[in-house]
């Protein structure tokens, strides 16, 4: 057995990366982000891999930022690392497919938006909950606002309410939402289709598709990271996060 939070399985043309930090609902802790980075880099470096599948163990795909770390140590470095993670996913030379089930919240939605193809269980739930904690969806806006239509982005960002897989597909956040009993079948189909692409074709096609998104991240990433760190450090947000963590105990 291993205590790693992210598992990497290399199997011919596919690399499968599994988030497995179930004790904190796959929150984006410093350690999980570091391990996810390492797994993505290994997949990118493997000449046999043509498609990267990201999935999660447990009932929750990702609960967002690790609030216990944020309240103790602040978010300055953590925000920059999440910006860098989104950029790396976007700029990889191989398509990244995300298999989504369960709940995905706040910062985890940035990983969803950074991925190239997202197949979601229609029963999956999403929420940009930052606004309820005195925060803003700052660093993830870099990718989320490039995927979602503007009206949907305003509704979900300002309201912070939960929405489902079908709405996520209609809003442009995910590629498809399918019934849970066919989720794995559809993911297999998509990964198999993408794996038929030639490496150069995949790399150059993805670069064209994501050119504007990379420019957006490079232009605004530092600003959004600084804003996120400032908001996390504010008295209003720290009080709201402490109350939220106390309710979970």
Q: Which two tokens stand for residue 158?
A: 């300002």
Residues paired with 117 in a beta bridge: 97
Residue pair 111/90 in contact (Cβ under 8 Å)? The answer is: no
CA distance 73 to 96: 31
CA distance 97 to 32: 19
Helices (H), 115-234: 141-147, 150-159, 165-171, 183-194, 199-209, 211-233
- In the residue annotation, 130 being an active-site residue is answered as yes
Residues paired with 163 in a beta bridge: 126
Number of H helices, E strands in the chain: 11, 10
Please pick, among 35, 41, 44, 130, the residue that the annotation labels catalytic. 130
Write out the catalytic residue numbers: 130
């Amino acid at each position: 057995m291993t205590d790693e939070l992210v598992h990497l399985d290399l199997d011919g043309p596919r690399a499968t990366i599994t988030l497995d930090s179930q004790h904190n609902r796959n929150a984006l802790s410093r350690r999980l982000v570091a391990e996810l980075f390492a797994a993505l880099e290994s997949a990118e470096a493997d000449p046999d891999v043509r498609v990267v599948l990201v999935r999660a163990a447990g009932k929750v795909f990702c609960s967002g930022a690790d609030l216990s770390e944020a309240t103790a140590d602040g978010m300055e470095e953590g925000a920059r690392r999440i910006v860098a993670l989104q950029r790396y996913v976007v700029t990889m030379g191989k398509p990244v497919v995300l298999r989504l089930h369960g709940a995905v919240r706040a910062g985890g939605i940035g990983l969803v938006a950074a991925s190239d193809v997202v197949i979601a269980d229609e029963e999956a739930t999403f929420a940009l909950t930052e606004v309820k904690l005195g925060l803003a969806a700052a660093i993830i806006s870099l990718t989320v606002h490039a995927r979602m239509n503007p009206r949907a982005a305003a509704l979900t960002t300002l309201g912070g309410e939960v929405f489902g897989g079908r709405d996520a597909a209609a809003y442009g956040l995910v590629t498809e939402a399918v019934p849970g009993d066919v989720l794995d079948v559809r993911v297999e189909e998509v990964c198999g289709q993408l794996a038929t692409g030639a490496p150069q074709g995949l790399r150059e096609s993805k670069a064209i598709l994501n050119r504007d998104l990379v420019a957006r991240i490079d232009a605004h990433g530092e600003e959004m990271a600084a804003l996120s760190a400032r908001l996390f450090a504010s008295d209003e947000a720290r009080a709201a996060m402490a109350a939220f963590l106390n309710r979970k105990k």
